[in-house]
């Protein structure tokens, strides 16, 4: 009874689908979160009668054959990288990217990670850091005596000091873009790592061709749409129920055949 194992693969696939949807809904309020979608593929087919084989000595060919599928498997869980809305915070250290790009973050192990979550702050040494305390590359120090901090759309950071009306440039934010953003590896803490699938990071300045611009005093919200996710959840639930019904029907058929006298 192939239906038992085939329907079981369908239930497993829909369980994974619900898990992905649950993860999206759980991160509705996560800064710059990018929702995910599960994609599925049909499994191997069992050829009971091969397509295109000869059905007689006169050379007649079977037009369709008999192929029975063995179920479904997960093809991928891909990330949808469309931009979320920008929300004003009035915090001078909050920055959002309008368009393409990721901020480059220096990890404690010396490697680089990338993020679109620009809810930055100063640490005890005046360095611009993430919520986890990781340094924002290329290393920007905001003096304690700075009276105002301004970040222009190109990511240039300038400050003004008491008694000095002329602004002083203290750093430049960098952006990185990738040939395939969906290929980045999520690490948690709103951080991504470069992979062979994403391609090498191309680091540049905001406002250059192919790079977005920077908005000070804003953060990017999650791109999760509650209505879309709930609709997908209902569809996944119904698909799970129908596969469970197939298993019940197959079990009843086996019971009937086993009770034949």
Angle between helices 226-258 and 2-26 (to 10 degrees): 160
What contacts 153, CB < 8 A, 6 or more positions away? Answer: 206, 207, 213, 214, 215
Q: What is the pLDDT at residue 57? A: 73
Could you give the CA distance from residue 208 to residue 175 in angstroms, rounded to a whole number?
10
Q: What tokens does 62 get?
A: 């079977």
Q: What is the pLDDT at residue 156? A: 93
Q: What is the pLDDT at residue 178? A: 95
Q: What tokens does 241 get?
A: 């129920």
Predicted structure pTM score: 0.85
Question: pLDDT per position in the chain (261 positions), as tens?
Answer: 788 889 999 999 999 999 999 999 999 999 999 999 999 998 887 777 777 777 777 777 877 778 788 889 989 999 999 999 999 998 999 999 999 999 999 999 989 999 999 999 998 898 999 989 999 988 889 888 888 899 999 999 999 988 777 888 999 999 999 999 989 999 998 999 999 999 999 999 999 999 999 999 999 999 999 999 999 999 999 999 999 999 999 888 888 888 876
pLDDT tens-place string over residues 142-156: 888 888 899 999 999
Question: How would you write the chain as a 3-class SS string?
Answer: CHHHHHHHHHHHHHHHHHHHHHHHHHCCCCCCCCCEEEEEEECCEEEEECCCCECCCCCCECCCCEEEECCEEEEEEEECCCCCCEEECCCCCEEEEECCCEEEEECCCCCEEEECCCECEECCCCEEECCCCCEECCCCECCCCEEEEEECCCCEEEEEECCEEEEEEEEECCEEECCCHHHCEEEECCEEECCCCCCCCEEECCCCCCCCEEEECEEECCCCCHHHHHHHHHHHHHHHHHHHHHHHHHHHHHHHHHCCC
pLDDT tens-place string over residues 136-193: 988 889 888 888 899 999 999 999 988 777 888 999 999 999 999 989 999 998 999 9
Whether the CB-CB separation of 32 and 219 falls below 8 Å is answered with yes
Q: What is the pLDDT at residue 146? A: 85
């Amino acid at each position: 009874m192939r239906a038992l194992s085939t329907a079981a693969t369908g239930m497993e696939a829909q369980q994974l689908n619900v898990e992905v949807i649950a993860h999206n809904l759980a991160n509705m309020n996560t800064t710059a979160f990018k929702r995910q979608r599960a994609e599925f593929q049909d499994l191997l087919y069992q050829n009971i009668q091969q397509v295109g084989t000869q059905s007689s000595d006169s050379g007649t060919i079977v037009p369709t054959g008999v192929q029975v599928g063995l179920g479904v498997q997960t093809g991928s869980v891909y990330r949808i990288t469309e931009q979320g809305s920008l929300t004003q915070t009035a915090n001078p250290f909050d920055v959002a990217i309008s368009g393409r790009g990721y901020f480059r973050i220096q990890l404690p192990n010396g490697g680089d990670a990338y993020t679109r979550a620009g809810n930055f702050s100063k640490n005890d040494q005046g360095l611009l850091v993430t919520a986890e305390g990781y340094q924002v590359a290329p290393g920007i120090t905001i003096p304690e005596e700075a009276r105002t901090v301004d970040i222009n759309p190109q990511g240039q950071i300038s400050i003004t000091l008491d008694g000095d009306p002329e602004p002083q440039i203290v750093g430049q934010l960098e952006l990185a873009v990738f040939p395939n953003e969906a290929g980045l590896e999520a690490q948690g803490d709103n951080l991504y790592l470069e992979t062979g699938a994403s391609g090498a990071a191309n680091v540049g300045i905001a406002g250059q061709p192919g790079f977005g611009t920077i908005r000070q005093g804003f953060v990017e919200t999650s791109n999760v749409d509650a209505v879309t996710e709930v609709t997908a959840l209902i569809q996944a639930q119904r698909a799970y129920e129908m596969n469970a019904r197939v298993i019940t029907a197959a079990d009843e058929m086996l019971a009937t055949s086993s009770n034949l006298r």
